[in-house]
Structure 1
Amino acid sequence: MGFRKSMSILAIIIAFALVISGCTNDKPASPAPTDSTTPAVSNNSEGSGDAKLEALGLDSNLRFKETRKITVEIYDRGNDGGTPPEDNFYTQYIKDGMLRDHNVEVTFVPVPRWTEGEVINNLLAANQAPDVSITYSYPTIQTYANMGGVLDLAPYLEDSKDLFPDMWEYLTDTNIYWDQDPNTGTLWALEAKLNILNRINTFVREDWLKQLNIPAPTTLQEFEDMLVAFKDNASTLLGADADKMIPFSTSFDVGWRADHLTGSFVPDDITDKDVFINGFDDRRFLFPNYKEGIRVLNKWYNEGLIWKDFSLYPAGDTTEDNLMKMGYVGAFMHNWDYPYRNGDDSIHASLQRLVGPDAAYIAIESFPNDAGVYKKFLSGPVDRKIFFPATNKEPIASLLYVNWISKLENRVFLQFGEEGVTHEKLEDGSLKTIAATGEKIMNSPANIDYTITSNGLDLGDPELTVKSIANGYAGVDSRLIEVAHKITTNQGRIGQNVNVGEIKAEDGQGQALKEKRDTILNKAVVAPVDKFDEVFDSGMKDYLNSGGQAIIDERKAKWEAQFGDKTMLD
């Protein structure tokens, strides 16, 4: 942890030095005045449309007269049996399409998915970030924007909106301007569209419930009793492998993986104001009563109900998945469809091959809050943040890329691939995936790493989309998908866009506070029961003293300046 933190701090220092050497004012560095980077001229006079295209080096079909070159970030998930993320069937489809439609050469730059925040920090600091960059961390973007390291997209969108119709139609003003500063008008990033707000589910072995004649738990106590039953009946459930029994599994990312449990301890009447003030940590670490959810995990750990080695394996490690595939894990929380992903290599498929056709994980709801509601805190309709570093000399070509990737026909192809090869079209018009092998395998679910403006299936027809989601898991009973799809957003509270401008206290803090949070939670879960409060409270004190409290205070002040005494938004 210390090394990663040091690298993040070093990245900030290097970036600052680079900006000081190249900029002499507080405003973001302007792009070099080439044909493609000059914002389009006004469109008011007759013939100005042609003049605008001419100034940008484009013909009437929006093809550059001279070939332009851009680089695009792509996540590398390190998949066993996957393809090189920067060079495969789907990247070739994109490259061919961009060259054909816009005369733009695209080169993909792989970035490790599980450490993307650190890596993009370092790339920005070294002036080597891809022209089209992506991150889940807006504070990272804001940090470098403050140092002149990120392009302000507002002028390009205002002056050349008509060049990007597909992007505008798909993302709409909501996602395009989600992050625009209400005071300065600067726009450092576009928000990808989260088509489906599905987030987390709690999964249990349905066959184990049947074997022990236990109904699916609907309360915390019933869930705990189930875990105890798994442990006490390990010999019945696993035979000679009884010593390998793991009633409940989690990972080093406790905040994400325990979301349903911790969320159930948050008071049902939490205000929009408190959600905003404390919601800068996306694991809801600062929400009221969160600690009590972690206390439950601490109790379970000390009673031998949780995988004892969960904190030892870093992001991207496959050890936990393999334990699930071998049939040793009774329950876990994870992404809403996690056990059903990856076709023949999925946890579900592996479990059925090894254990038998009745072995399966099913989603359940077990954690009502103080009002008896199975409350889930859901995201707003936003996902990854797309931004252009100041080193991008081709912002128009880059925006044409974002537009091209937003076009419905291109998104659908990337999500489903070739008919008859990676999907079939059913009589009702919905699509059903076919397990892909070789060069046409997808490294991420529905190729979300390539459809950077879109996360989640979208066929342009809501009814066909839902049917296709249920069809989309080769070899998985659609019943399991339908249950998971229904539960993950049931009684959910959708996140709202509270845009009060930059929170300066967040500048440079994103990665450091994330690492502190993960360390605190890991230590708190494995602490002896009588040391839990001491470990959690001392960790929280350090977190707050390291910048967390300053962020809380500034968010509170900004809310009150914008909304006065209001605690709930309209």
Structure 2
Amino acid sequence: MKIKKMLALVPVLTLVTSALAGCGNDQAKEAQATSTAAAKASGTPVTLTVEVFDRGIQGQPDLNNNTWSRYINDNFGKANNAVVKFVPVPRSQEIDKLNVLMASGEAPDISFTYDGATVSRYAKINGIQPLDELLAKHGKELTNYLGKTVLQYGQYNGKQMAIPAKRTSLAWGGMFIRKDWLDKLGMPLPTTRDELYNTLIAFRDKNPGGVNGVIPWGLAATGMNYGFGNLSESFWGKQSEEEFVTMPGWLKPGNKDTLKFLNKLYNEKLISPDFALDKTAKQADADVTNGKVGFFSANWDYPLRQNISEPLKTNVPTANFVPIDTFKNYEGKYKKIAYNENGVNVFIPKSSKNAELAIKYLNWMSDPKVLFFLQYGQEGVNHKMVNDMPQVITQTGDNMQTSYLNLDYTLVVNGVELGDQQKNIKALAASAPGYEAVAEKSYQINTTDTYTGYYYDTPNESNIKFGKTLGDLNKTMTDKLIVCKPAEFDRLYDKLVAEYMAAGGQAVMDENIKLYKNMQANKK
């Protein structure tokens, strides 16, 4: 059986629907036309407002006055008699803030969120503008760049309601092990769950790093980096596609065995002893960079990032983390989740009077030259060429990028874009100087035997209602089950799962089944 996609939980969305329903499409068009005509007549530049994440990074530049914002206004703004004004939204509160802006009719002309359920909810209550006509008239390059596969993720009831960014890097998580520890013990890279278990025991008992407080497997609180990798997938039994995409993880065959295995590791002191208290992953970072951790799972490139690789190299010059694939399932495959082809969801609120200009802006951004500058800037200033690959020069002040490759400014793409996927992968690897081969190997491992999140073309109302509650329960349930006494595990598991299903899990699953069956029927 070919498993294609999986449902991911989404957070709660609270909206003032009457405020968003607002004016009809014809009224929006009339308001936009009147505003545009008045601006042209007066010669006054039109202000195009664009959302941007404020990530609160220390030393970040003025988000409206920096190398990248000036480039945008100099090259798009002046040519279109417009001023592009960025509206900062705190990254940690983006949905709550966006809901307030939408309800008050003050959302930026170009708004976005990573939460597809939020956009579908806006679409359902007529709070955002359909984009088919605008794309046909002013979005040729944008449409060609994204393609049908990506654009379909922004369609609701047959209409294009959002512009999904193209995600060029599909790898998600990864797993890494101290190769220098294995070499010291004369052990090979573990390729199965049992082999990893034996390796963790050897790390605990023989402490090849000679450290105080050795941690065979580094973990942080559920929901943070330092998770379980694709351990769960290795325990899952055979399922139909319908079961796989509609059923919560707690009911999947083998999920109970996954948590029981982790409980065993915890009680045998093979994982971080206080992981459940580490809700920021700062302790796990410290343990890794101080050379205490033998194995961990995080983002596919996590140990290659400068905040990890540089202090680790200083503290333990001989440390050598390498990527591995170790959780094999009943089919002999290493199933793991990967990103869908779509990234952030960009949309135009119904309240916007500048929808045409907004699409022109996104269309302009699709130009390869524009994307390259926004991601890499000027050679010798913002990037240098290494083996024919651009490498960002980390900077502060005006030239600082507050997100990876300026993804908060490059709204049509998530990830490096050099026009060729092999080049993109090489460029990703080049972002980890000295670890290029390791990066390529990790990317290759974590884009093999993958599945992606299932795309429902209709929002799950129960998911919207109970999503945040269930998401929070997922975390607390997992942590409780890992740290409980083995004799208490079975009773606690059954109790917590019953509570989860009663708290909305059953309602979400029932609606998933209904939506899934409807989608399958429509394909016939």
* TM-score normalised by the chain length of structure 1: 0.80
Match of residue 419 from structure 2: 460
Distance 1:257 1:408, change over 3 A: farther
Residue 130 of structure 1 pairs with residue 100 of structure 2: no
Which residue does the alignment assign to 2:5? none
Instruction: Please give the alpha-carbon distance, in whole angstroms, between the structure 2 residues aligned to 1:311 and 1:145.
Output: 38
Q: In the alignment, what sits opposite 2:296? A: 332
Deviation at 1:151, TM superposition (A): 0.6
2:230 partner amino acid: H
Is contact 1:374-1:491 (8 Å) kept? Answer: yes
Q: 1:444 to 1:563 in 2, by over 3 A?
A: same
The residue that corresponds to 1:483 in the other structure is 441
Letter in 2 for 1:493: Y
Answer 1 or 2: higher relative contact order, Cα 8 Å, separation at least 6. Answer: 2
Q: Which position in structure 1 is the counterpart of 2:465?
A: 508
Matched, 1:431 2:390: yes
Number of residues of Structure 1 aligned to a counterpart in Structure 2:
514
Give 1:532's aligned residue. 489
Task: Report what 2:67 is aligned to.
Answer: 89
Distance 1:470 1:454 in 2: 18
Q: SS where residue 207 of structure 1 aligns?
A: helix
What TM-score does the superposition give when structure 2 sets the normalisation length?
0.86
Instruction: Report the AA paired with residue 510 of structure 1.
Output: G
Partner of 2:188: 215
Q: In angstroms, what is the RMSD of aligned CA positions?
A: 3.4
CA spacing shift, 1:482–1:531, aligned 2, 3 Å: same
Asked if 1:34 is matched to 2:31, the reply is yes
Cα distance in 2 between the residues matched to 1:493 and 1:310: 28
Question: Structure 2 matches for 1:33-432, cutoff 5 A?
Answer: 33-36=30-33, 66-80=44-58, 82-83=60-61, 87-125=65-103, 127-148=105-126, 150-153=127-130, 156-182=131-157, 185-234=158-207, 236-239=208-211, 242-243=212-213, 245=215, 247-253=217-223, 257-267=227-237, 269-278=238-247, 287-314=252-279, 318-341=282-305, 345-356=306-317, 358-426=318-386, 429-432=388-391
Kindly provide the amino acid, as one letter, of the partner of residue 465 in structure 1.
Answer: N
Contact 1:135 1:385 in 2 (8 A): yes
Q: What CA distance in whole angstroms lies between the structure 1 residues aligned with 2:179 and 2:263?
A: 25
Hey, what's the Cα distance between the residues in 2 that align with 1:480 and 1:226?
Answer: 21
Q: How far apart, in 1, do the equivalents of 2:34 and 2:490 lie?
A: 55
The answer (yes or no) to whether the contact 2:220–2:226 under 8 Å persists in 1 is no
Q: Distance in 2 between matches of 1:243 and 1:31?
A: 63
SS in 2 for 1:193: strand
- TM superposition shift of 1:253: 0.6
Provide the rounded CA distance (Å) in 2 between the counterparts of 1:265 and 1:441.
44
Tell me by how many angstroms 1:331 deviates: 1.8
Q: Name the residue aligned to 2:18.
A: 20
Aligned to 2:8: none
- SS state at 1:197 partner: coil
Question: How far apart in 1 are the matches of 2:357 and 2:303?
Answer: 39
Q: Shift of residue 422 of structure 1?
A: 3.4
SS in 2 for 1:432: strand
Residue by residue, what CA displacement relative to the aligned partner does 1:351-371 show, whole Å, maximum 9, x if unpaired? Answer: 112211x32321101100011
Conserved 8 A contact 1:230-1:247: no
Task: Write the distance in 1 (CA, Å) between the matches of 2:329 and 2:417.
Answer: 32
2-side partners of 1:505 and 1:109: how far apart?
31
Q: Which residue of 1 aligns with 2:4?
A: none
Uncovered stretches (5+) of structure 1, i.e. residues with no partner: 1-7, 39-53
Q: Structure 1 counterpart of 2:262, which letter?
A: L
**Code of the aligned partner of 1:34:** A
Aligned partner of residue 508 in structure 1, secondary structure = helix
The CA deviation string for residues 104-123 of structure 1, in whole angstroms up to 9 with x for no partner, is 32233333434544444454
Matched, 1:551 2:508: yes
- The one-letter amino acid of 2:383's match is H
Cα separation, 2, equivalents of 1:425 and 1:457? 15
Match in the other structure for 1:3: none
Q: Name the SS for the 1:35 alignment partner.
A: helix
Structure 1 match to 2:401: 442
Q: Read off the aligned partner of 2:80 and give its amino acid letter.
A: H
Q: Secondary structure at the match of 2:236?
A: coil
Distance 1:377-1:472 versus aligned 2 partners, 3 A rule: same
Per-residue deviation, 1:400: 2.5
Code of the aligned partner of 1:480? V
Gaps of at least 5 residues in structure 2 are: 1-10
Distance, in Å, in 2 between the alignment partners of 1:218 and 1:399 is 49
Q: Distance in 1 between matches of 2:368 and 2:250?
A: 37
In percent, how many aligned pairs have the same letter? 29
CA contact (8 A) 1:295 1:525 kept: yes
1:381 Cα deviation (Å)? 0.9
Query: How far apart are the structure 1 equivalents of 2:347 and 2:468?
Result: 18
